[in-house]
Structure 1
Amino acid sequence: MTKCSIRWQRKPRRGCLSSESKFGLTLMYPTTEKEALDALRGNDRELAATAEAMLWSLWCRSGDSEVDGTFRAGVEAMQQRKLAEAEILFSRVVKRAPDFAEGWNKRATVRYMMRHFGDSIADCQETLARNPNHFGAASGQGLCHMSLGQFREAAICFRRALEIHPHLEAVRQNLALAESESSGNDGYLH
């Protein structure tokens, strides 16, 4: 992590790492998943950004070096827009480590990029079943519903993401768009 939130306090909170700066301020950031999730919901945007980075770092580790290697290869393939290859690699990840939520989420992302929205929604649901706090999967599922013209469902997903991480401005904008679109046509694109 590269960012720290500056806090005026003498003692660090339990579960936080701290260090003294040359100005005598205590630099704090969350060290547990629970603390990071709590920080997302707080008013400190800088701390929320640090917490988000920490969560992504935690969520991208399965605990199995072979799975993590396949996962990294999938991420690399996805970044190079080798989507079919990435989908195969993430499918191997979820087969080998079905409880690894981020494997499902990355496959959902690839399937969204491939415009396989139904399959992506199913993978987002698998992600959220394993990690109900996965704001990325909730938002991604909303994007899939938007692409399918299912605006009510999209709005539900975006609200869920914002309940977990209220600082996601793009998700807030997507929610406004979904609500606007759903108000005029029974919530569906005809």
Structure 2
Amino acid sequence: MKLIICAICLALCATFPATAQDQQDVSMDVLFSQLKEADDSNWLALEQTIQSRWARSGSNAMDLLAQRGREAIEREDLEAAFDHLGALTDHAPDFAEGWHMRATAFFRAERFGLALEDLRRVLVLEPRHFDALEGVAVVMEMLGEPEMALSFYRQVLAIHPRNADVKEAVARLNLQLGTNI
């Protein structure tokens, strides 16, 4: 009898949908696939959907810290942004967008080394984070490393081929470096 109950339980578990995290991961894979194949009619909506998903930490308290950090960046109160986003990254170290927002604050404060370190953490957590890849490219370009910048811009285009700013940057750096593609 015990074996029958175990078999029924296993069969039921197999028919239940995946966990919410598994479903989100799968749907993110689908969104990235769609973004790669997007045309002018839908790429912006896909980009915004992905960014919206990245912005959700899964915790109301962490989302509040993120909101406060974002607002502080917008009003150029970088010290407050560092406080809020430092707390966010301390309490939610697996939340890639927290690191991305803090990298943005560091970039605005011209603390490029710290920005790059936070962008590295973003990319460890979410290698497809096209905004973080673009951030690395921008910093590399500002630091006088156009070849590295071009490499990161190309990585963005491999994920998000409709990004007009990145396409312009690639064209500009190709011209500057005398490269092709």
- For residue 180 of structure 1, report the CA deviation from its aligned partner: 3.4
Q: What amino acid is the match of 2:80?
A: E
Q: After superposition, where does 1:3-82 map in structure 2 within 5 Å?
A: 32-82=27-77
Structure 1: runs of 5+ lacking an equivalent? 1-30, 185-190
4+ residue stretches of structure 1 with deviation over 3 A?
179-184
Q: What amino acid is the match of 1:164?
A: I
Calculate the TM-score normalised by the size of structure 1: 0.76
Is the aligned partner of 1:139 residue 2:134?
Answer: yes
- For residue 105 of structure 1, report the CA deviation from its aligned partner: 0.6
Structure 2: runs of 5+ lacking an equivalent? 1-25
How far, CA to CA, are the matches of 2:176 and 2:101 in structure 1? 28
How far, CA to CA, are the matches of 1:93 and 1:127 in structure 2? 13
**Rg comparison, structure with higher value:** 2
CA RMSD of aligned residues (A): 1.6
Name the count of aligned residue pairs.
154
Which residue of structure 2 lines up, in the alignment, with residue 90 of structure 1? Answer: 85
- For residue 90 of structure 1, report the CA deviation from its aligned partner: 1.0
Deviations 1:110-129 (A, max 9, x none): 11111111111111111011
Is the aligned partner of 1:120 residue 2:100?
Answer: no
- For residue 37 of structure 1, report the CA deviation from its aligned partner: 0.7
- For residue 165 of structure 1, report the CA deviation from its aligned partner: 0.3
Residues 96 and 118 of structure 1: CA distance in aligned 2, closer, same or farther (over 3 Å):
same
Q: Percent identity?
A: 29
Q: As a proportion of its length, which structure holds more strand?
A: 1
